[in-house]
């Protein structure tokens, strides 16, 4: 761990600005999934138990730099108070004289939750003056929001120019250690499974993984840009025509490196995602008036064989339109295979996490990342602003 840890900070009687990721789904004014809140609790409890006065901050949704009552963190304060068993006061804003007074009034072992950071345009603009105002609320900084670490924003990046030391929270440490283990010292064979809709979203990831993995399995709609590159007809399946040649070069590069790319050999096809049922066909026989919406059983078996032989597995992206029951089979079967693997398994990305939860196998996954974009960018080999901004150990 190259970055300073929250465990190394003298916390007693200090005000800690704790940047968390409390960007959770809401419905009817209540939190509907508290996974991200629970994930940061160990860091929050550590700070409170060691006598810190905690100023807790997060964004929620995309209010676009304006006040949106529907994106207030009030429901998060309610759910967090239930989890902690004590009241969690919500400041009326995240900066300003009243907020500063509230922050200075917090006693050791207590906390205040700031209102949504993105109610101010300075947050997403990484504005130094807004960051300076946030920094004035505390004595030191802890970032436990790995899921937002790929964003160069005021509470993640610019604030560390005015508030030091800047340490990694426990969740941030676990995420970095887990992804570092995959990229730097995996137990082999290392198998990556990728899915989702678009090749364009994950092209850099595919290219970086080719230099690191022993095998790569590609499902989801993104697979059909690759099968088109092999010369197969894809019917009405989602394909990015402008990337077919790029996909062909990627397949050539995988052969040059001796890294197998497993693509679907069969698919579940239908008129569209809302269809009540689909039929399974060979990947070579997709009808012109049908679209592939899931991988078929032969593909599941092929991917499953790769997973069985692996010692490390990383999975991002569903195998089909798994939100609709007729096209969920492939994704749920891959979730079962990953859970059954005698390997270190890592799952990341909102849809993929939802899939393992829906399959009922989340507790059998080695590590579930709370991040989506940051998870992908780290695996792509990019530097994350929220990590780079932290103090070196």
Per-residue tokens: 161: 């120019």
Let me know: does 251 contact 207? Beta carbons within 8 Å.
no
| Residue of 294, 329, 293, 336 whose CA lies nearest to 315 | 336
End-to-end CA distance of the chain: 8
Q: Positive or negative, the Cα torsion across 387, 195, 200, 381?
A: positive
**Is 104 exposed, middle or buried, given 0-12, 13-18 or 19+ CB atoms closer than 10 A?**
middle
Active site residues: 36, 198, 350, 373
Would you list the DSSP string of 89-119? -B-S-SSSHHHHHHHHHPPTT-EEEPP-GGG
Q: Which residue has the tokens 């108070």?
A: 81
Q: Edge-to-edge, what's the strand order for the sheet holding 53-57?
A: 111-113, 53-57, 15-19, 140-143, 166-168
b/e per residue 286-323 (b: at least 16 CB within 10 A): beeebbbbbbbeebbebbbebbeebebbbbbbbbbbbe
């Amino acid at each position: 761990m190259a970055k300073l840890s929250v465990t190394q900070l003298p916390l007693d009687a200090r005000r800690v600005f704790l940047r968390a990721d409390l960007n959770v789904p809401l419905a009817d004014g209540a939190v509907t999934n508290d996974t991200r809140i629970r994930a940061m609790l160990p860091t929050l409890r550590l700070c409170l138990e060691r006598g810190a006065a905690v100023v807790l901050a997060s964004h929620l949704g995309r209010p676009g730099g304006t006040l949106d009552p529907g994106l207030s963190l009030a429901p998060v304060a309610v759910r967090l108070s239930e989890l902690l068993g004590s009241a969690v006061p919500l400041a009326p804003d995240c900066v300003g004289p009243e907020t500063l007074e509230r922050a200075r009034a917090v006693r050791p072992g207590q906390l205040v939750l700031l209102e949504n950071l993105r109610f101010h345009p300075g947050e997403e603009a990484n504005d130094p003056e807004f960051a300076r105002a946030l920094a004035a609320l505390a004595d030191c900084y802890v970032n436990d929001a790995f899921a937002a670490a790929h964003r160069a924003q005021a509470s993640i990046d610019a604030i560390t120019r005015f508030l030091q030391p800047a340490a990694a929270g426990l969740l941030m440490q676990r995420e970095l250690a887990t992804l570092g283990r995959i990229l730097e010292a995996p137990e082999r064979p290392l198998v990556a499974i990728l899915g989702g809709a678009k090749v364009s979203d994950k092209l850099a990831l595919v290219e970086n993984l080719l230099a690191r993995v022993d095998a790569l399995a590609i499902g989801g709609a993104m697979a059909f840009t690759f099968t088109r590159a092999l010369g197969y007809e894809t019917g009405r399946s989602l394909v990015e025509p402008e990337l077919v040649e790029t996909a062909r070069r990627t397949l050539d590069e995988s052969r040059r490196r001796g890294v197998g790319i497993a693509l679907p050999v069969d698919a579940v096809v239908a008129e569209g995602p809302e269809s009540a049922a689909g039929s399974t066909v060979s990947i070579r026989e997709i009808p012109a008036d049908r679209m592939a919406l899931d991988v078929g059983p032969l593909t599941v078996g092929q991917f499953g064989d790769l997973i069985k032989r692996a010692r490390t597995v990383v999975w991002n992206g569903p195998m089909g339109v798994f939100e609709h029951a007729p096209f969920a089979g492939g994704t749920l079967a891959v979730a079962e295979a990953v859970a059954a693997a005698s390997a270190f398994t890592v799952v990341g990305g909102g849809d993929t996490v939802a899939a393992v939860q829906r399959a009922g196998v989340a507790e059998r996954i080695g590590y579930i990342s709370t991040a989506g974009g940051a998870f992908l960018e780290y695996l792509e080999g990019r530097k994350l602003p929220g990590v780079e901004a932290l103090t070196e150990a």
